[in-house]
Amino acid sequence: MTGICRIRAATPADLAALRALFLSVRRQTFVWQPPDAFHLEDFDTQTEGERVFLAEADDQIAGFISIWEPDDFIHHLFVHSRHMRQGVGRALLQGLPGWPDRAYRLKCLSRNEAALAFYRAHGFTESGRGVSDEGDYVVLSLGSHDRSNSTTDERP
């Protein structure tokens, strides 16, 4: 990443690029699932009602994070492959309202070892486990903020 990473709220003008990023990164990351399991319109349904922030680097969308604000639940954090391991994910987390003092939590598929390591390196600890249609997952809570041992398959 040669440009400075800037975090801002997503706007309707960003929708096409966010859809494409979401589709591309999911196909690259979740290789154990068939590629046709993912669709461009998944972004719309999976982030409905959520607050979405994006990271820009070199005047391009480098990644995004979506949160379900009523429960401080991080639903998605995706970084474009060109911007991996360049601080974009960290910047997205640090750009969240109230970071790091709010009790954010998330679910991460157990098979996504790189993401689990990332979240743990940023202060998240395991607070539960569960199973969804996509597979086994780990519930992670920020620091000592353990608000839930949720094992449901839906957002909180």
DSSP H stretches of helix in 35-103: 42-46, 88-94
β-sheet bridge partners, residue 128: 139
Q: Mean pLDDT over all residues of the chain?
A: 87
Least confident of 17-31, 47-61, 110-124, 134-148: 134-148
- 91-129 pLDDT, tens per residue? 999 999 999 889 999 999 999 999 999 999 999 999 999
- H or E segment and range at residue 23: helix 15-29
What is the model's pLDDT at position 139?
A: 97
Q: In the chain, how long is the greatest CA-to-CA distance?
A: 41
Measured distance CA(93)–CA(59) in Å, rounded: 20
